Amino acid sequence: MSNIIDRRKNAKGKSTNNRQKFLKRVEDQIKEAIPDILSQESIKDSNGGGKVKVPIKGINEPNFKHDPKSGKKHYIRPGNDKFAEGDKIPKPEGGGSGSGKGKGSNSPEVTQDDFVVILSRDEFLKYFFEDLELPNMVKKYMESTTTFRNQRAGYTKNSVPSRLNVKTSFQHSLARQISIAGAYEQKIRKIEAELEQETEQARKLELQSEIERLLKLKNTIPFFEDVDLRYNNFERVPKPATSAVMFCIMDVSASMGFHEKDIAKRFFTLLYIFLSKQYAKVEIVYIRHHTESKEVDEEEFFNSRESGGTVVAPSLKLMHKIMQERYDPQVWNVYCCQASDGDVWSNGDAVECSQILKNDVLPNIQYMAYIEIKNRGLEGYLWHAYKKLRKEGNFSMRNINDVSQIWPVFKALFKKKSLVTEEA
Amino acid sequence: MMDKEKYKALFSSPNWDFETIQAADEVTNWVGKEFFKLDTYVNQIEIVTSEQMLDAYSLIGLPTSYPHWKFGKDFVVNQSSYKKGQMGLSYEMVINSDPCISYNMENNSTCMMLLVIAHACQGHNAFFKNNYMFKDWTSADSIIDYMVFARDYIMQCEEEHGAEEVEKVLDACHSLMDHGVDKYKKPPKLSAQKERERLKRLTKVKSENYNELLRTLPAEKEMRQERYKKQRKFPLEPEENLLYFIEKNAPTLDIWKREIVRIVRKVAQYYYPQTMTKVMNEGFATFMHYHIINKLFDLGYLSDGFMLEFIKSHSGVIYQPEYSSPYFSGLNPYTLGFNIFMDIKRICTEPTDEDKLWFPDLIGKDWLEQVHYAMENFRDDSFIAQYLSPKVIRDMKLFAIFDDEDSEFYEIKAIHNERGYRKIREMLSKSYDRSHRIPDIQVDHVDLHKTSKLTLIHNIQDERLLDEEEAESTVRHMRSLWEFPVELHSRNKAGIDEDFYEC
């Protein structure tokens, strides 16, 4: 008779292997498409995996087939509503699309436009960060992947004596002894009851000896059997030896409009995705500043409308302070990203900023990126003051004035060391 | 048999469970055998999720296949159009194997489950077992075994020679798959066990008999002359199975590559009958589910509500948009096949004067026997040529358009009237002929003396030329397998080349 099988619980992803092979084939096209995603939609959405448009041309499977335009062909169509034999119908202008689509539909050649590949989060990140790495991160990151620690993971029945867990083993032993003794006890009680009823002497003796035998068995239940023994079980888990903290410093002075904040936000988000791929634990400290500086939460950072004039230096001081209090650079990988339109109250403020960076911040952190969101030609005070810091290995600065520039700039700031060329 | 009321209650609930599936299988099987004399393989009904259905799509129904990016691409394309809502998944998928495996979507309603079980497990299954194409060309009991062998073999090749190398060979083979089919001789049965043994023997004989010295011995003069005579024209007859020709005759191809060519060729051969019987196969399955469900209703196993849902689904299956409809995408094989089978039954039982003229052999015969005969002994083109009746042409309002490259007009060649019936039948039959879809390309000869150049001839029919870009790439693939120059002549009836490709 028929077999009925529920396949639904079977492992998913039977096509994964073939899918990977296919993705590998269109890898270049995916990489090309990624900057588009970045400039078109919110980065936070891309976080869960992106949609990539891949033109089907690159992955054609050729075979010998007829040119649909050539030759003399007959087609049979259903639903004649107005034609009589011998009617002539002009072909559509241009011939191409009109005759191509309707006519060829009986044949397997289906015209396909670009179709969309949906990448999972991991796949997306893989392509996204393919050529990137966090500067100065290599050493600590390597450490983090090579150290393991043993983590308790329940009990196992087979292991070395030194890992014997006495308490659990004893519990098992006790349980076994009680249950087995109980079974004997029951039997004994049954036989004793029978003994009382019994009158025949021979049978009595027989029952008595049986009781004795059972008692003996009951009293000689071994204290430990192999089945009782439990050993502590350990699992090797990779130990993230390092964690990272990212300071996001944003200028929210009146001159930063929606457009500027949007770009800054995208940039920070990108950096966050990047960091969270590399580190098990990433913390973010949001600092916003106008005339005064304040540590805020994410919500307030991006959405608060509070605004005022621009004084930058206190925000860097604040960062330094927080770092000293909470994020010891010996333990934490510290990153900083500052976004501003470059306007400052006075040149003195800019000079102070550059000094704080040089003396207090840069020596203690892994990397700092400064992005200036500005589409005016003149350099701001801040840009001017920061220029001298460029020779510090862990400082980069770039100008962004359009969403589409975020990805190239991000790439330039974080490209692998081997690829770094002298900054313009 | 459980009592009818219990079945009725079971099938009336919109939510199915395994008892329902089992009951559906039992009753359809019983009705199929008892009333419609269906002879089937054992069924294996598998309940799958939509993602698993997409998996099945990409492997064209096979439970396993060798790894290749093409299947991944199909999966991604299907998945993306499914998610966008451009494409629905079919309710079932069934493969030609023994036991006959059918996949049923978990989100089918009870009514759909019963319908697809009748459709796939009775209709398609009986078709696979009894149609002469399938009987002659496939061995249902060994295909799954063979695919397991193919998968293991290709994975082993990937390990030994690198995935990229294997991919190149597979790409080339796939591009020639349409030309890897024997149409005239029956291939030997395949079995994984035998394949493995054959392979082992082959390598063993080769290595045992290999002797460098033997190659330097001067051959007998006569023998050489004999061989020369034979070799003047090679091959003696044109060969249209390009993959077969490569497998047997490519001068320097590695053994493992030859084996891959063979695997792809075997798979192409396995699908060959399916491409030749689409209309009949779907038509017959639809005809059967229609009759089985109606019989069950007549016998009191199904409620009125069930029948309403069934009629809706059934008419969805055989919906044929008209040529001018935006939903039109060719003739629906379900509709065409169903209509013809229904008409065979009608002609047997209630013939008109017209039928007596057109189908004298069917009049007054047992309709079930005639339906079985038609199902067993034809393929799409011959089936249409034999059975497409004026009534079906009228009902579907079929008409023929003539499209000449050189003309500025389409011409209506025939419509559904007295003058048109035979023409339409002939043209429709021809459009299901394989040579109509797949260009006729054959190996003409090999230059055995100097260059080992392979010459292919494309015989132009109806002035239809090859798609140039595709032909160029495919010739390149051909060369990568042949490993020596390849040229392709597109030749018209007068023997003159209209196109020429080389690589």
- pLDDT tens-digit series, residues A7-21: 888 767 778 888 888
Of A2, A90, A103, the CB nearest to B409: A90
- What is the Cα–Cα distance from A67 to A31, expressed in whole angstroms? 33
The confidence band for B480, taking pLDDT boundaries of 50, 70 and 90, is very high
Q: Which positions in chain B touch A81 (Cβ < 8 Å)?
A: 322, 324, 397
Beta strands in A195-242 (DSSP E): 231-238
Buried b (16+ CB within 10 A) or exposed e, B121-150: bbbbbbbbbbbebbeebbbbebbbbbbebb
- What is the Cα–Cα distance from B338 to B315, expressed in whole angstroms? 11
Q: Which positions in chain A touch B324 (Cβ < 8 Å)?
A: 79, 81
| Nearest CA-CA partner of A79 in B274, B401, B42 | B401
- What is the Cα–Cα distance from A390 to A367, expressed in whole angstroms? 12
| Nearest CA-CA partner of B76 in B101, B106, B51, B103 | B51
How many C-beta atoms lie closer than 10 Å to residue B77's C-beta? 21
| pLDDT of amino acid A241 | 53
Of B47, B73, B399, the CB nearest to A80: B399
Q: Which residue has the tokens 């009870």?
A: B110
The confidence band for A422, taking pLDDT boundaries of 50, 70 and 90, is very low
Is the pLDDT assigned to residue A302 strictly greater than 80? Answer: no
- Between CA B125 and CA B130, with CA B128 as vertex, the angle to 5 degrees is 105
Buried b (16+ CB within 10 A) or exposed e, B391-430: bbbeebbbbbbbbebeeeebbbbbbbeeebbebbbbbbbb
| pLDDT of amino acid A245 | 84
Name the pairing type of β-strands A88-90 and B409-414: antiparallel
Is the pLDDT assigned to residue B344 strictly greater than 90? Answer: yes
Query: Complex ipTM, two decimals?
Result: 0.83
Most confident of A131-135, A239-243, A332-336, B464-468: B464-468
- What is the Cα–Cα distance from B231 to B253, expressed in whole angstroms? 20
Token digits for A289?
């500043």
Residues 311-370 of B with CB under 8 A from A: 320-325, 328-331
| Nearest CA-CA partner of B454 in B254, B309, B242, B300 | B242
Residue to test with chain A: of B384, B403, B435, B440, most A Cβ within 10 A? B403
Q: What is chain B's Cα-based Rg?
A: 26
The confidence band for B29, taking pLDDT boundaries of 50, 70 and 90, is very high
Is the pLDDT assigned to residue B395 strictly greater than 60? Answer: yes
- What is the Cα–Cα distance from A143 to A141, expressed in whole angstroms? 5
**Strand, coil or helix: B358:** helix
- What is the Cα–Cα distance from B144 to B149, expressed in whole angstroms? 9
Which of residues B91 and A163 earns the better pLDDT score? A163
Contact criterion met (CB below 8 Å) for B466 and B459: no
Test A81 with B322 for CB contact under 8 angstroms. yes
Under 8 Å CB-to-CB from B191, ≥6 apart: which residues? B139, B142, B145, B146
The confidence band for A96, taking pLDDT boundaries of 50, 70 and 90, is very low
- Mean of pLDDT values over A137-150: 52
Under 8 Å CB-to-CB from A161, ≥6 apart: which residues? none
| pLDDT of amino acid B197 | 81
Test A61 with B174 for CB contact under 8 angstroms. yes
Of B55, B330, B415, the CB nearest to A14: B55
Residue-averaged pLDDT of chain A? 76
| pLDDT of amino acid A130 | 67
| pLDDT of amino acid B281 | 95
How many CB pairs lie under 8 A apart between chains A and B?
A: 258
| Nearest CA-CA partner of B275 in B379, B167, B406, B374 | B379
Most confident of A242-246, B141-145, B216-220, B428-432: B428-432
Question: Helix A313-326 and helix A347-356: axis angle, to 10°?
Answer: 20
- What is the Cα–Cα distance from A424 to A138, expressed in whole angstroms? 25
- Mean of pLDDT values over B236-247: 91
Is the pLDDT assigned to residue A352 strictly greater than 60? Answer: yes
| Nearest CA-CA partner of B147 in B22, B60, B53, B252 | B60
Under 8 Å CB-to-CB from B377, ≥6 apart: which residues? B132
For B181-247, the DSSP string reads --SSSPPPPP-HHHHHHHHHHHHHHHHHH--HHHHHSPPPHHHHHHHHHHHTSSSSS-B--HHHHHH
Give the CA distances from residue B455 to residues A82, B234, B242, in Å, rounded to whole numbers and listed in that order.
49, 10, 11
Maximum alpha-carbon separation in chain A: 121
Q: What is chain A's Cα-based Rg?
A: 37
Is the pLDDT assigned to residue B342 strictly greater than 90? Answer: yes
Is the pLDDT assigned to residue B148 strictly greater than 60? Answer: yes
| pLDDT of amino acid A242 | 63
Test B80 with A89 for CB contact under 8 angstroms. no
Is residue B179 packed enough to be buried (19+ CB in 10 Å), middle (13-18) or exposed (0-12)? buried
Q: pLDDT tens, A51-61?
A: 666 666 557 78
Whether the CA torsion B55, B58, B61, B66 is positive or negative: it is negative
Helices assigned H by DSSP within B90-211: 110-116, 125-130, 132-137, 143-161, 163-175, 192-209
